[in-house]
Structure 1
Amino acid sequence: MLKIPAISVEYLKIPISGASDLVTFPVEMAVVPDGQDPDSDDWKTAEWSTAGEAMVLIGPGTTLPLTKGITYVAWARLTLAPETPVLASGKVHIT
């Protein structure tokens, strides 16, 4: 389980494997408490890293300020018309 301090501002990354052109498609990420599925309001526009990872900035002052003491699950959603795959990633505990 990944542990991140609540005061840290950093990119949370999800490795995505598949065709090499995946990075040309829109990607979103959601970070929700463990045991919950993302709602429509939870999805945030994400970016692609040069290593083919979906990434979103988390921490104070971002659109995803996470709460100390809570364990979250990161999710990625790609728009690959007609498909919209949703992928759950690992857990993140905010310390």
Structure 2
Amino acid sequence: MSAELSVLAVTYVKVPVRVTESGASVDPTGATVQMAFTASDVDPVSGDWKTASWETDATTTPDTYLARCLVGSAVTLAVGTYDVWVKILASPETVVDRAGFLKVV
């Protein structure tokens, strides 16, 4: 995922998430999801994680699940380039992935 947005915008940053079990697509929206925005090549620490939510696109087969975090409101980012991280808390697993980057202009 790579995206660019204005520092003046208030918008969701969305990351597609695909979860499978035994080869079948699984709905992850029952799990807690968080996102972090860090400087390039910097791993997130506990204070970096922000509340995120799920969005489902049912127009695709299988459904597409998106982790999303509202940037420009409670989460503000200065002009720059950030790594975008997604953390899914699905007991007993905690999945953490760098999803791409975001350029704020």
TM-score by structure 1 length?
A: 0.90
Q: Note the alpha carbon deviations across 1:44-91, whole angstroms, 9 max, x for none.
A: 1110012310000001xx2221111x1001111011111101011111
1:18-48 Cα shifts (integer Å, max 9, x gaps): 1422111111111111121111001111100
Structure showing the higher helix proportion among its residues: 1
Task: Give the alignment partner of residue 86 of structure 1, picking from 68, 77, 96.
Answer: 96
| Corresponding residue number in structure 2 for 1:32 | 38
| 1:75 partner amino acid | W
The percentage of counterpart residues that share the same residue type is 33
Aligned-CA RMSD value: 1.1
Given residue 47 of structure 1, which amino acid in structure 2 is its aligned partner? Answer: S
Structure 1 portions without partners, runs of 5+: none
Q: TM-score, normalised by structure 2?
A: 0.82
Uncovered stretches (5+) of structure 2, i.e. residues with no partner: 21-25, 58-64
1:4 paired with 2:5, answer yes
- List 4+ stretches of structure 1 deviating above 2 A: none
3-state DSSP of counterpart to 1:79: strand
